[in-house]
Amino acid sequence: MSNLIILIVLIGLVIATIKDMKTGKISNGYNLGFGLVGIACSLVTSGVKGLLTSLAGAVIPVVLLMVLFSKGVLGAGDIKLFSALGTFAGLEVIWLLVYSFLLCGLYGLVLMLVRFIGWLKVGRSKGTMICALTRGRQYTKVAFSVFMVGGYIWYLMKGGILLGI
């Protein structure tokens, strides 16, 4: 059962990421359906305790990420997707948040380094690809769901469990 749940979560996250990358949005209906599947899995595998853990896992991301949403850093769909993911992970959703944000931060550092190197090269070789990519752009929008998938894989590699299995 555990491998099936891992596969369900991975497929669910990949579908959400594809939607997010194509449209810049993850629909409420998708997040709701994904979350309901997580609640059902928790209830079937762990009974009432699983249900309560699943609901706690759904609430934690909303509470922790509301500030980022209010500042425009994260979209509502990202928070709802984390909430749906929390229905599978329960309290372990905190680790999924940590891993996802660490990957996002690493991406940001690499992007800053690439842009810095690009700015250094502007004076010498204006035709390089790196200069064309960096000149005049301050912000880069990236689908955060990409980092959720990475965070989930990292979580699994570190021996994380879902639904207490």
Is residue 123's pLDDT more than 70?
no
In a domain, 140, yes or no: yes
Q: Quote the domain boundaries for residue 8.
A: 2-157
The pLDDT of residue 59 is 97
In a domain, 164, yes or no: no
- Report the domain count for the chain: 1
- Selection from 105, 107, 108, 99 nearest residue 148 by Cα: 99
Residues 36-61: tens digit of each pLDDT:
999 999 999 999 999 999 999 999 99
In a domain, 36, yes or no: yes
In a domain, 78, yes or no: yes
Residues 132-165: tens digit of each pLDDT:
444 555 566 788 999 999 999 999 888 765 544 4
In a domain, 57, yes or no: yes
In a domain, 162, yes or no: no
b vs e for 60-83, b when ≥16 Cβ sit within 10 Å of the residue's Cβ? bbeeebeeeeeeeebbebbbbbbb
Residues 50-95: tens digit of each pLDDT:
999 999 999 999 999 999 899 888 899 999 999 999 999 999 999 9
